[in-house]
Homo-oligomer: A and B are copies of this chain.
Amino acid sequence: MRKYNLAVVGATGLVGREILKILVERDFPIKKIKVIASENSAGKKIEFKDQKLEVITATKGVFKEIDIALFSAGTEVAKKLAPQAKKEGAIVIDNSNAFRMDKKIPLVVPEVNAVDLKIHQKIIANPNCSTIQMVMLLKPLAQKYGLKRVVVNTYQAVSGAGKKAVDEMLEQTKAYLKEEKIENKHFKHQIAFNAIPQIDTFMDNDYTKEEMKMINETRKILAKPKLAITATCVRIPVIFGHGEVLNIELKSSYKIEALKSLIKKSPNIELIDDPLNYRYPLQTDTETNDNVLVGRVRRDNSLKNGINLWLTANNLRKGAALNAVQIAENLITNNLV
């Protein structure tokens, strides 16, 4: 079996470290692996299987002989380094916002639109975390019933903002418990025991970038450029796992049991829906479960073909690192490397 040369860019971040873990867990066919980060991290060692990999910076030629480069280093770094990597011969799978809405670049959740990978020109975009888990559910519903309109509200974990954000919440929490002063550096407001109705910066239409990502990326992934969808994104003091409440209006009528069966048999989705026994998905469940977890599925009687439901997934894994690795696996399986 062929093995591949990989590079992980942004290897020391929360998502980068998760990518390395997942490559091991899934026994990815690796010949050689380079771990790349900023100068601050250069020279550090990262454990990987029985090796200690030295973190290097992205000098000229670093991507030569690399087959696949998994990027998770933010939009600015991606804009600078992805073209270099492509030129030096690597296929880039980028987790940032840099290329997602570029019409020539596939934006892929393998369970939903792996077919879009066929047209790749060496750069592939990994969608936003909160989008990935939502489209995993919307795709089967769209296929069977059609989507008339979607309203999504998020309950997003602090790890989505990186390690510094998690550290800040934990520091604030300790300060609160000791009745000491709470300091904000990463977040503009206290996040310990508080929610912040802003994720990413604001656009001219008073939506945040995160909200517009959910709207625009969903339309692109589902190939429904005019889908009626709106979003409100809120950060809550949870460490891992994004929660989402979806209110969906379907085009055709449905039976609730058939709809639940459809969810149950959809790939990498798990229905946890036994409310009388207090069984519904929790964000803490996603620490040890890579599926998109769906529950609280019930008819919305305020319109004709309405559904309410709650879903959650691990934002660092299915929402980022795992989806990227799945894309890489898919490229290999389909001879697209």
Contact = CB atoms under 8 A, between A and B. Distances in A.
Interface of A: 149-151, 153, 155, 170, 173-174, 177, 188-190, 193-198, 202, 205-208, 228-230, 232, 234, 236-239, 243, 245, 247, 275-276, 278, 280-284, 295-303, 306, 308, 310
Contact of A282 (B151, B189, B278, B284): B189
Given A194-B282, A230-B308, A234-B243, 9 more contacts: A174-B177, A189-B282, A194-B238, A194-B283, A196-B282, A228-B303, A230-B301, A232-B310, A234-B245
A229 to B, nearest CB: 6
A195 B234 contact: no
Contacts of A177: 170, 173-174, 177
A230 B300 contact: yes
Contacts of A299: 205
26 contacts: A150-B302, A151-B151, A155-B155, A177-B177, A189-B282, A193-B237, A193-B238, A193-B239, A194-B282, A194-B284, A196-B282, A197-B243, A197-B280, A198-B275, A205-B299, A206-B296, A230-B247, A230-B300, A230-B301, A232-B247, A232-B296, A232-B308, A236-B236, A236-B237, A237-B237, A237-B238
Give the one of A195, A247, A276 with max B CB within 10 A. Answer: A195
B206 A275 contact: yes
Contacts of A207: 298
Nearest to A295: B197
Nearest to A194: B284
Given A245-B234, A282-B189, A310 B197 contact: yes
Contacts of A276: 202
A282 B198 contact: no
Nearest to A296: B197
A236 B236 CA distance: 7
Given A237-B237, A282-B189, A301-B230, A243 B295 contact: no
Contacts of A237: 193, 236-238
Contacts of A205: 298-299
Contact of A245 (B188, B228, B232): B232
A234 B190 contact: no
Give the one of A189, A193, A282, A284 with max B CB within 10 A. Answer: A193
Given A174-B177, A190-B284, A155 B303 contact: no
